[in-house]
Structure 1
Amino acid sequence: MLTSDREAGEGTVHGQVHDGFEGVREAFAHVVREQPQPTGQQLAVYSDGVRVVDLWAGPGVDGDTLTGVFSVSKGAAYIVVALLVQDGVLDLDRTVSSYWPEFGQAGKERITLRQLLAHQAGVVGVDDVFTIEELADDRLMAGRLAAQAPYWTPGTAFGYHGLVIAALAGEVVRRATGRSLQDWWELRVRAPRGADFFLGLPEELDARYLPVTPAVPEPGAEEPEPESRKLLDIAFSTAHLPDLSVFPNFRLTRALGQGSAGGVASARGAAAAFAAVIGVLDGSPALLDPDTIETFTRIHSEGTDLVGGDESRFALGFQVLDARYDVLGADAFGHGGAAGAMAFASPARGFAYGYVRSRFALGDSADKENTMMIGEVVAAVRGRK
């Protein structure tokens, strides 16, 4: 049995939840009520093969609406790499340059694919930063990154390769297979599993795209400065992209499917992709086996992130989420996005979660939103067992 639409202050929460997930709907309604500006939001959860939560709210939004999900895109990139490692096509402990010879210069000769995925390579950008046109195109970035010297000794530290990690990993994929990371995502995951999570949005679907809007800070509010402003500016090419919120709104970004931050999805699509990975999507077999999941979700980098200056942890690309959301177990893996989106899977509890929003969140407000909703999801899933 399903429950459906409910008023949420000035907006209405649309959609459905299965019995037992009413608390998730209430948490989502609270999140909608608390928005300081109009925001499009969606929440979807798959549990044991069924979509048990399917909610949306906001002007111009329905369950099929697509929007930019920023670094949730990285989750798709890492799923592709994990599939190719599982297939035996890629080897985590081979050097990147063994696949991509041009990369093996300027102190990068011994960097392994494992170190690259763990954000340890030190190649977070280029000295004179990328233009917006280059940022939208993983191939163009890879060509310039091949000659760049690392910003720290590879393997000795880590820092978030925020806009380039999929360009780097994607060039390894292309050299090893002859196909792009985006092609593999479409062939192995998105199309066969019917997930509305695109790395390369077809023009005919652009009518479903809801542009991302920037947050409007309160008067006098200031964002904290990271310790290494220069490195952050290089990593995010702020000279040419001072406002990251507009990045997926460029048609070129969406068309090329920039793998680090240019993905476009609905909550249904983001949740479905991670549900497919662990085998809780409509009875389909899991894309990744338990050994591969364990390899890719083991902590590889922990401590101070040299780019952001904060304390952080990474597995092989995927974010380690149990410290961020303490109701989750160590098995949960996925990735968040700059506007506040989040997509992950919990193999032990048998569910996958997708949340997207069309307006950048202020400060840690999106983390608080996800904390509330994830808590209710976990409680509901436990109640079904």
Structure 2
Amino acid sequence: MHNPKSAASFLIARAKSLQLRHHNYRFLTSTSRSLLFTPFISTRFFSGHYNIEQFSDDEYDCDFENHQASSTVANVDEWKWKLSMLLRNEKDQEIVSRDKRDRRDYEQIANLAKRMGLYSELFGKVVVASKVPLPNYRPDLDDKRPQREVVIPLSLQRRVEGLVQEYLDRLQLNSEKTIDSLDNVNSKNQVKDIDMDENANSFVDESVMEKVLQKRSLRMRNMQRSWQESPEGKKMLEFRKSLPAYREKEGLLQAIARNQVIVISGETGCGKTTQLPQYILESEIESGRGAFCSIICTQPRRISAMAVSERVSAERGESLGETVGFKVRLEGMRGKNTHLLFCTSGILLRRLLSDRNLSGITHVFVDEIHERGMNEGSSSTSS
């Protein structure tokens, strides 16, 4: 027979040590052991009884491993079916999965894909099986690098196309400039032509350059037509048609074609500065001579040369420095494809000092001649 006082004191001490305030407690631990503890107090006999159930680590781990193994087998079987369907389907090229189970079972999936003649790769949290070899990195599967929609302006597209075509033309020019030389190494009796034309190379260079310029002219015409047919180009053309200079466009072009020098006068804002050089450039481009055309338009002040060039390039749907550029003292923006150059009168004078014939220049505009100073007068006299 147990002593009631000793049993009660034992239970109180036990409750304090476990920091428990109720009669029924249940403790479960998954790391080491599972303990089910239920104290029972008999008010009749004042005795304590303890029911304890213990689960060993081996039993718990065994159950967990069995469950994981069965899950892996089921997942691999499912992937076997997926890969078989991938091989049968001619349209699909790969399988992309973000399932955690697939990352867990990636080694088994990779071995299975290899046996079936497929390729697999683990990109971070994404498992990919493919019919073709996979790279080490896939930006489209990188969550830290989100996809963005990039819109390239039409002017930038034209500039890139022009640079690529210019590079191809340069390659063609270099290849065609190579002329087969006479092979006089293997035969001593080979006859040497002593009457070879010394200008043969220059003749070939000129013919090749003409072909390159013709191709460039064709490209310029296609680019101009695409801009004129675009919504922005049509809107800009409607604005240009509203200017008074547009009504005299055909007459001006005919007068320029028939005469060496003409004088054009008009009210302020009629479009003399911005439209007349464009009319000539557009006419030459449309006739397939755009690459052969080179126009210089002088302005009395550098600020006007810069502002007008920017306006004309915008009306053509291009960036400044493409077919339209400017050149002032200590500053300028022009490129190899610039065919309309706005500059100050001093720039033209310096050009005349080094090249009096203005080689390569087809048209010269001296704008605002009524405001002429010493430079404008000298330019008019030299021209």
The TM-score bracket by the shorter chain reads: under 0.3
Tell me which structure has the larger Cα radius of gyration.
2
TM-score normalised to the size of structure 2? 0.23
Higher relative contact order (CA 8 A, sep 6+): 1
Normalising by structure 1, report the TM-score.
Answer: 0.23
- The structure with the greater share of residues assigned to helix is 2
